[in-house]
Chain A
Amino acid sequence: MYNEIFDRKVDDIGLQTGIDRLTPEKIEKTIKQVLESETGAKLKVYNDTCVRCGMCAQACHYYMSHLDPSYSPVAKIHQSIKVLIDRAGKVGPDFIYQCAQIAYTECNLCRRCVHYCPLGVDTAYMMSTMRRICHKLGVTPQYIQDTAHSHSATMNQMWVKDDEWTDSLLWQEEEARDEFPDMRIPLDVDGADMMYSVIGPEPKFRTHLIYQAAAIFHEAGLSWTMPSLPGWDNSDMAMYSGDFEMMGRLKRSHFECAQKLHVKRIVMGECGHAFRSVYDQGNRWLGWSDYPVEVVHSVEFFAELFKAGKIKMQDKHPGKVTIHDPCNIIRGRGLMEHLRYLAHEICEEVVEMSPSAEYNYCCAAGGGVINCGPPFKNVRMEGNKIKADQLKAAYDKGVRTILAPCHNCHGGLEDIIHHYGIEMDIKFLGDIIYTNMVKTKAVE
């Protein structure tokens, strides 16, 4: 929809600076270049085939929260990429601002809408393409661009320097002395059974998660390692900013470090988007049909440990727990059964939200939206009232804990429970397992 006054423009210095540098010629050239060289039949078919039936509206948490038609999946296409295609790139800078705001901050690429579209239109793919164009135009929200810069400068998301990374690991090993005197966080062990990879924010803000994972692996007696060199961070905000060149470099370095260590497989921490980058986007960009080293998400991995009896629970987590299904590992990778198996193994009582599993509502943080930073926090809060309603309903049934095995979901849900005043705790699987497992190797 061209020349429509976009009534919810949010000021963002990254978007604005990019817009100020644009000329109509540059816009047209870039759009044509992306449409002609990087997209093909998929985009065309989606664009032509959509019959504007509006069935997808109810799929999207943004629409369900606002009940405003401009937030429906098809409306997002209608107000952005479709116009670029129809006008062959002849649009003005202000319109690009609107496109960028929609694509980066009003769609989590969660693909819930696919379940609702009779014609199989993939709105998330179209929004990713929109972001790709914005990236090439230099119009990206400031915060996510900072993260993408961090990836290109340091090969991790959080500007963590190489020595700070190993320092954090050694520090956690040190911390463990009191509880597990023999516990190691092995570095660069050649030929270990598995390499454990985490996301940048873990050494930076949530170091205890590395401690917990190490304690679980230690208890289970596993052969494992972490890499000391770049490639340890499996996260990928470049995928979300539209910087696909960088996404390719990141995935390559992640796998190369596993290959150099000759590990049998990579176990990824509790993060959804990193996993998506591996099975869905990074691999395709690199032209890999699959990945060169087997990858498992911790949800699968923990389920394996429990099934093999390598980890046992001392107690189950008390009280009622509900499951938040992270899109990227559930709708993205079908891990809902594994997650439910684990939830029942480690919690006293599980209360399902409705809808759940592959039909879950996204946390509104994913798809890089939370990484667009404070200017867009309200977009997430107001755009996910529907999740707050789900959580309140669970609260009314006595649920006080949310199990969410994804970092982004944690961030998003935390903001939501504070914003809507819902008194619940959010837990990673690792939090509950570590706290309540049988610790045969611990000293009192």
Chain B
Amino acid sequence: MYHSIYDLVTGPLTWLGFGVLVLFGLYKMISMYSLAKKKDGSSIFYVKAKYGIRSILQWIIPFGTTGWKANPALTAATFVFHICLLATPIFLGAHIDMWDYNFGVSWPALPDQVADIMTVLVIAACCFFAYRRIADKNVAFVTTWKDWFALCVTVSPFITGFLAYHQIFNYQFMIVLHVVTGVAWLLFVPFGRLSHAIFGWYSRVYIASEFQGVRHVKDW
């Protein structure tokens, strides 16, 4: 029974997750781009890769922009969060083993203790974000269930992964839950708040082109 559930979630369900992420992600990116071409011609006319790249480089430097400088704690949390969020699942030994087993590809893994610390950092950053959603009146004012949902989807594979790794509660149950929440993560990236992962680049490149190209000022 357990094995068939495990096989189901790590097999077809995971495929579904990656499938939706890739297909819907691409579909949404392409449809948004063609909508922009159709409807926002007077804006995308000004788009230049040079400005977009310059702006992205500036914004991925911690404290490299006005916004980052003005919000130091959030900036630190955001950078730690995003780096660990992406690096941990990609460079986790157990995940790499699965890729190796299924597709025969592998790459260097992070030491388990490091991955463990990074998992804790993701969870801690999410706690900080949750704290802000309640305690910071600016954030609280605009927070809706969608924000809580996005936060829960994001953090749950890390919590379950952590619990499973440390064999807290039932390992078998946790690992299944870990995979299920991980898949939920993949499923939701193209939608709702998490879609900033794919559309944030569009808005960044556009506003960079408008600021640097039309307005002759920095967008950072």
**How near does chain A come to B145, taking the closest CB pair, in angstroms?**
12
- Chosen A-B contacts, 13 in total, with CB atoms closer than 8 Å, are A40-B40, A42-B40, A51-B150, A54-B139, A75-B142, A114-B211, A115-B219, A116-B66, A119-B204, A120-B203, A121-B203, A121-B207, A333-B215
Contact status A69-B215, CB under 8 Å: no
**B173 beta carbon closer than 8 Å to chain A:** no
CA distance A427 to B193 in the complex (A): 47
B contact residues around A48 at 8 Å (CB): 192, 195-196, 199
Contact status B141-A49, CB under 8 Å: no
CA distance A298 to B70 in the complex (A): 34
B42 contact from A75, A121, A287, Cβ within 8 A:
A287
Q: Nearest 8 CB-CB pairs, A to B?
A: A40-B39, A334-B216, A120-B207, A41-B36, A284-B42, A116-B67, A69-B141, A54-B138
CA distance A242 to B76 in the complex (A): 40
CA distance A53 to B205 in the complex (A): 20
Contact status A57-B195, CB under 8 Å: no
**B71 beta carbon closer than 8 Å to chain A:** yes
**B94 beta carbon closer than 8 Å to chain A:** no
B contact residues around A280 at 8 Å (CB): 214-215
Interface residues on A, range: 35 or more
A contact residues around B210 at 8 Å (CB): 122
Binding site for A on B (CB under 8 A): 32-33, 35-36, 38-40, 42-43, 45, 55, 59, 65-68, 70-71, 74, 78, 132, 136-144, 147, 150, 192-193, 195-196, 199-200, 202-208, 210-211, 214-220
Contact status B70-A58, CB under 8 Å: yes
- Are A69 and B35 also in contact (CB < 8 A) when A122-B207, A358-B217 are? no
CA distance A139 to B134 in the complex (A): 35
* B-contacting residues, A309-353, CB 8 Å: 330-334, 336
CA distance A336 to B204 in the complex (A): 24
**A395 beta carbon closer than 8 Å to chain B:** no
Contact status B142-A78, CB under 8 Å: yes
B contact residues around A116 at 8 Å (CB): 66-67, 70
Contact status B141-A78, CB under 8 Å: yes
B contact residues around A40 at 8 Å (CB): 35-36, 38-40
What is the interface of chain B mostly: helix, strand, loop, or mixed?
A: helix
* B-contacting residues, A44-65, CB 8 Å: 44-46, 48-59, 63
Count contacts between A and B, CB distance < 8 Å. 143
* B-contacting residues, A122-140, CB 8 Å: 122
B contact residues around A72 at 8 Å (CB): 138, 141-142
Kindly report which residue of chain A lies nearest to residue B194, judged by CB atoms: A51
B contact residues around A52 at 8 Å (CB): 139, 142-144, 147, 193
B contact residues around A332 at 8 Å (CB): 215, 217
CA distance A119 to B219 in the complex (A): 11
Kindly report which residue of chain B lies nearest to residue A357, judged by CB atoms: B217
CA distance A118 to B197 in the complex (A): 12
Contact status B43-A49, CB under 8 Å: no
CA distance A284 to B46 in the complex (A): 11
**How near does chain B come to A428, taking the closest CB pair, in angstroms?**
22
**How near does chain A come to B51, taking the closest CB pair, in angstroms?**
11
Contact status A55-B42, CB under 8 Å: no
Contact status A69-B137, CB under 8 Å: yes
Contact status A334-B143, CB under 8 Å: no
Contact status A44-B67, CB under 8 Å: no
A contact residues around B39 at 8 Å (CB): 39-42
A45 contact from B32, B66, B218, B219, Cβ within 8 A:
B32
Contact status A54-B132, CB under 8 Å: yes
Contact status A289-B45, CB under 8 Å: yes
Given A57-B138, A119-B203, 4 more A-B residue pairs with CB atoms under 8 Å apart are A45-B32, A58-B70, A59-B66, A115-B66
Among B195, B208, B214, B215, the most chain A Cβ lie within 10 Å of the Cβ of B215
A42 contact from B36, B132, B196, B220, Cβ within 8 A:
B36
A contact residues around B33 at 8 Å (CB): 41
Contact status A331-B215, CB under 8 Å: yes
**How near does chain A come to B214, taking the closest CB pair, in angstroms?**
7
B contact residues around A78 at 8 Å (CB): 141-142
Contact status A41-B70, CB under 8 Å: no
A115 contact from B67, B144, B192, B205, Cβ within 8 A:
B67
B contact residues around A55 at 8 Å (CB): 67, 70-71, 74
CA distance A116 to B59 in the complex (A): 10
CA distance A56 to B141 in the complex (A): 13
A contact residues around B147 at 8 Å (CB): 51-52
Contact status A41-B40, CB under 8 Å: yes
Kindly report which residue of chain B lies nearest to residue A38, judged by CB atoms: B39
**How near does chain A come to B6, taking the closest CB pair, in angstroms?**
34
CA distance A250 to B207 in the complex (A): 26
- Are A49 and B70 also in contact (CB < 8 A) when A78-B142, A330-B217, A334-B217 are? no
